[in-house]
């Protein structure tokens, strides 16, 4: 009855506004409200911002539960760093709405335009944050300028992990799809005799974090980028999520009580996922067992990455403890 009364009240408010002082004009018929997630004609971003009732709870309920907005925060990297886990954890927060699939707008689909990109976003209410994650942005040369062009105020999150472990995880993922690829050891070197590392191999190249960060700092101040430790995301998920919530200006709602450690998978899982009352762990593609790698190759990679890691620590003001 309450919703029926509200619907009649707001329908009258909209239609009665069209009556003249003499009462001669017939009331216009109100369009039926959109259901959550139902496609509808989108106004421009400027019109959305100008609309006085765009974010109010009542109007949001009747126009499709909010407005589609461009993301205010993006998880830009890194591949095999823990980005999926971070996004799933963040979606527990009532003030975070995020796209499930990776849009790849700023690297593969930029020519489709911002209207296409915005239409991918979930609807949000006033005070909620729209997010997406595409880990390949961090290593895409054009991405920083493109995101800055969209909004210079966009908050950026990078989940980083020991680059050696990350490279092996990257290789393991590829191996699961292409079992006939060469060994990790053979792909690592241009010349194994001389020990020359093949930095053109993406599994190696992604882990040179300092090099990629330099490109982002041409367009964003360091204070607008949050660096999340992939290792601490496993060992202390609530602690890392606390930092992320602070960075996004959110109340610290996600705490220790939301997690339990899954011994089989070897990483934390949610006691209750977004929109569910059941425990949730990431899928079987996460937490794969890594192949045994020649320890001499592992050590050579550690030696290779060490100076880049040191520079990255200096640039971010954080020691991630990879050496």
pLDDT of 264 = 76
Weakest mean pLDDT among 119-123, 192-196, 295-299? 192-196
The pLDDT mean for the chain works out to 83
pLDDT recorded at residue 64: 59
Residue ranges per structural domain of the chain: 67-168+206-289
CA–CA gap between residue 34 and residue 18 (Å, rounded) = 22
Q: Which residue has the higher pLDDT, 313 or 51?
A: 313
pTM, full prediction: 0.78
Q: Active-site residue 133, yes or no?
A: no
Task: Give the active site residue among 80, 271, 272, 278.
Answer: 80
Mention the CATH class of domain 67-168+206-289. alpha beta
Terminal-to-terminal C-alpha distance of the chain: 64
To the question of whether residue 288 is assigned a binding role by annotation, the answer is yes
Instruction: State the Cα–Cα distance between residues 215 and 222, nearest whole angstrom.
Output: 12
Q: What is the mean pLDDT of residues 305-320?
A: 98
Q: Which string of b and e fits 237-258 if b means at least 16 CB within 10 Å?
A: beebbebbbebbebeeebeeeb
Residue 82 in marked binding region:
yes
User: Is 151 labeled as ligand-binding?
Assistant: no
> Would you say residue 3 has pLDDT above 60?
no
């Amino acid at each position: 009855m309450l919703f029926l009364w509200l619907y009649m009240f707001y329908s009258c408010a909209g239609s009665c506004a069209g009556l003249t002082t003499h009462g001669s004009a017939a009331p216009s018929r109100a369009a039926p409200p959109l259901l959550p997630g139902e496609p509808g004609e989108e106004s421009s971003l400027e019109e959305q911002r100008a609309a006085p009732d765009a974010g109010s709870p009542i109007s949001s309920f009747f126009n499709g539960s909010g407005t589609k907005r461009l993301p205010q925060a993006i998880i830009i990297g890194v591949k095999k760093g823990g980005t999926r886990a971070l996004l799933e954890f963040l979606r527990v927060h009532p003030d975070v709405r995020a796209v499930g699939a990776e849009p790849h707008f700023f690297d593969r689909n930029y020519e489709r335009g911002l209207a296409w990109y915005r239409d991918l976003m979930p609807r949000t209410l006033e005070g909620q944050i729209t997010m997406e994650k595409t880990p390949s942005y961090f290593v895409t040369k054009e991405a920083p300028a493109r995101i800055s062009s969209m909004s210079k105020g966009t908050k950026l999150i990078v989940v980083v992990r020991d680059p050696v472990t990350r490279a092996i995880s990257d290789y393991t993922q590829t191996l699961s799809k292409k079992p006939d690829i060469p060994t990790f050891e053979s792909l690592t070197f241009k010349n194994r005799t001389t020990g020359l590392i093949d930095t053109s191999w993406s599994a190696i190249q992604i882990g040179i974090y300092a090099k990629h960060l330099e490109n982002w700092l041409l367009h964003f101040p360091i204070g607008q980028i949050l660096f999340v430790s992939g290792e601490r995301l496993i060992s202390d998920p609530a602690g890392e999520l606390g930092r992320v919530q602070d960075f996004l200006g959110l109340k610290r709602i996600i705490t220790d009580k939301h997690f339990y450690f899954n011994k089989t998978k070897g990483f934390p899982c949610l006691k209750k996922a977004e929109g569910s009352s059941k425990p949730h762990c990431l899928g079987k593609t996460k937490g794969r067992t890594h192949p045994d790698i020649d320890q001499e190759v592992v050590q050579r990679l550690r030696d290779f990455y060490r100076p880049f890691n040191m520079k990255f620590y200096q640039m971010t003001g954080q020691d991630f403890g990879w050496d």
